[in-house]
Amino acid sequence: MEERIEELEVKIKELLDDKKYHQIRELLIDLNEADIAEIIETIEIKEDVVRVFRLLPKDSAADVFSYIPVEYEQMIIESLTMREIGQIMNDLYSDDAVDMLEEMPANVVKKVLAATDKETRRDINNLLKYPEDSAGSIMTVEFVDLRAYMSVMDAIERIRKTGVDKETINICYVTDVQKHLLGIVTLREIILADAKESIKDLMNENIITVHTLDDQEEVAKQFQKYDFAAMPVVDNENRLVGIITVDDVMDILEEEATEDIEMMAAITPTDQPYMKTSVFETYRKRIPWLLLLMISASITGKIIQGFEAALSTCVILTAFIPMLMDTGGNCGSQASVSVIRALSLDEVEFKELPQIIWKEMQVSILVGATLSLANFGKILLIDRTSILVAFVVCMTLFVTVVVAKLVGCTLPILASKIGFDPAVMASPFITTIVDALSLIVYFNVAGIFLGL
């Protein structure tokens, strides 16, 4: 499929050069909307982007629009008439419209809202009021609602009349006149039931819901737990105000995973694709953390300076400093990443910190003993130092591994408890702390056993 898309990209660019627009339209008609959006992204000339978009059938233009990057959306919006903008916005699902407007400049947003009809504008404005990254900000208001007193035949008729504009009709929501959520019923249950049977008898009253102000990451966890395709969103009075569908959750999971990866690598999170981010923007996201880590790493330099006299007495000790620091950092990173993942999946809580520490303590003893024994043999056979020096290095290595594991498992949980993102306490910070601790342990052990 990817090869076919690449061939179409080349073909469409050739047809654009030859101004054979009818052939372009014929090529696009049978393509999936996501594939059309991918092709549009490869077109570099603004006029050609707008021209190709205008060639799309009206019933698929809004779907294609929801897939293209925001800069292309803005490019198209600025080139369309008010009538054309209104057509697109009225056909877009409300959550997709809100996602687009949140990224647009104020003047473009004003133009778009002016082109939409009153009902669409009201829905968009209501969704824009919810906090960013909340359930309310990602929900859609296009859902099928039924009444408990309806018969199956009445419900099917309502689905036929209203379902064409809804994001999903697979799950229908039963509400009263005040929009209070009473139950849910699937399309499968409706179709298989007797035509005269009541919706009240079919609906499931044991409903899992999320609140409009719930964090989007918590919403994603609920989807993972219950394997839902859609989930109702309610307000403080249990009134149904929208639904969240699984396609939105997929975007949330990607966004949250990307954010955690960037935080763990000491990069300020960004929502822009790598190739779309400018050099200066990339620099701006990275440099604050690098400066902070560079300054904090100078602590290890001060520690080494404090033991300069001891090192001059036994120079061979200097050769093992990188190994001790790297091993400690690696051990700390392993523990922190495991705990951060467990926290993100709600597998552990703060109250379980003692059990986590005990588990990591046992692991660190086994790991530390294995590494120390292997290193002891390597120092004697390859480095050919004295047994006492080998003992000092391996004793330090053992203690460093234990300390690193404890620091690595503790800091993310403490960070989560006080409200910070646990991912902040990943590799860079753990490594810096463990480096300093390993040097302190190293020189003190050397002082005790080597009399430095």
- DSSP labels, 41-104: HT---HHHHHHHHHTS-HHHHHHHHHHS-HHHHHHHHHHS-HHHHHHHHHHS-HHHHHHHHHHS
Confidence of residue 268 (pLDDT cuts 50, 70, 90): low
For residue 324, the one-letter residue type is L
> Would 260 be classed as within a structural domain?
no
Burial (Cβ within 10 Å: 0-12, 13-18, ≥19) of residue 206: exposed
Do 299 and 218 reside in the same domain of the chain? no
- Best-predicted range by mean pLDDT among 71-75, 161-165, 173-177? 173-177
Q: What is the CA radius of gyration of the chain?
A: 30
pLDDT in tens, 331-384: 988 888 888 888 877 788 889 999 999 999 999 999 999 999 999 999 999 988
The answer to whether the beta carbons of residues 41 and 72 sit under 8 Å apart is yes
Same domain, 187 and 116: no
Instruction: Flag whether 259 is in a domain.
Output: no
194 in the same domain as 280? no
Domain termination site, one of 138, 165, 187: 138
Q: Which two tokens mark 199? A: 């919706």
Is the CA virtual torsion 433, 439, 444, 446 positive or negative? positive
**Residue 383 has what DSSP assignment?**
I
How many whole angstroms separate alpha carbon 322 and alpha carbon 399? 16
Among 335, 341, 342, which residue's Cα sits nearest to residue 359? 335
Residue 411 tokens read as 């800091």
Give the residue from 86, 105, 138 where a domain finishes: 138
CB environment 131-169: b (16+ within 10 A), e (fewer) = eeebbbbbbbbbbbebebebbbebbbebbeeebeebbbb
Determine the straight-line distance between the first and last CA of the chain, rounded to whole angstroms. Answer: 69
pLDDT over 90 at 439, yes or no: no
pLDDT reported for residue 370: 96
- Residue 254 located in a structural domain: no
What angle, rounded to 10 degrees, do the helices at 321-344 and 387-417 form? 30
Query: In Å, how far are 73, 139, 213 from 96, measured between CA atoms?
Result: 12, 9, 19
Structural domain includes residue 126: yes
Within this chain, do residues 314 and 433 fall inside the same structural domain, yes or no? Answer: yes
| CA–CA separation, 3 and 68 (whole Å) | 20
Could you tell me the CA-to-CA distances from 27 to 13, 41, 63 in Å, in that order?
12, 16, 17
Note whether residue 86 is domain-resident: yes
| Any domain includes 251 | no
* 124, 24: one domain: yes
> Picking from 113-127, 267-281, 348-362, 399-413, which range would have the lowest pLDDT averaged per residue?
267-281
Q: 120-134, 292-306, 416-430 — which one is most confidently predicted on average? A: 120-134
Ranked by mean pLDDT, the top range of 82-86, 178-182, 314-318 is 178-182
How far from chain centre, in Å, is Cα 256? 2
Per the structure, how many domains does the chain have? 3
Torsion from C-alpha of 261, 267, 273, 274, nearest 10 degrees: -110
Name the 3-class secondary structure at 140. strand
Is residue 257 scored above 80 in pLDDT?
Answer: no
CA atoms of 13 and 232, how far apart (whole Å): 44
Q: Which residues contact 346 (CB under 8 A, 6 or more apart)?
A: 221
**Domain-embedded: residue 358:** yes
Tell me the CB-side half-sphere exposure of residue 362, using CA atoms within 13 A.
Answer: 5
Alpha-carbon gap, residue 342 to 354, rounded angstroms = 15
Among 138, 162, 177, the domain-final residue is 138
pTM as predicted: 0.69
Same domain flag for 326 and 435: yes
Q: Based on the domain organization, do 117 and 41 belong to the same domain?
A: yes
Per-residue pLDDT band for 304 (boundaries 50, 70, 90) equals confident
| In a shared domain, residues 219 and 341 | no
Torsions phi, psi for 138 (to 5 deg): -115, 0
Q: Are residues 191 and 320 in the same domain?
A: no
| 186 Rama sector, left if φ>0, alpha if ψ -120 to 50, beta otherwise | beta
pLDDT at residue 266, as a whole number: 63
Q: Are residues 289 and 426 in the same domain?
A: yes
CATH number where 158 lies? 3.10.580.10
Alpha-carbon distance of 93 to 33, in angstroms, equals 15
pLDDT at 421: 75
301 in any annotated domain: yes
Distance CA 281, CA 278 (A): 5
pLDDT of residue 425: 65
**76 token code pair:** 């198209």
Percent of the chain with pLDDT over 70: 95
CB atoms within 10 A of CB 431: 23
Torsions phi, psi for 186 (to 5 deg): -90, 155
Here the CATH number for the domain that contains residue 51 is 1.25.60.10
Residues 149 and 129 in one domain: no
In which region does residue 166 sit, left (phi positive, over 0), alpha (psi from -120 to 50) or beta (all else)? beta
Tens-place pLDDT, residues 138-156: 999 999 999 999 999 999 9
Residues 207 and 316 in one domain: no
Domain extent for 216: 145-245
Of residues 437, 150, 142, the one with CA closest to residue 303: 437
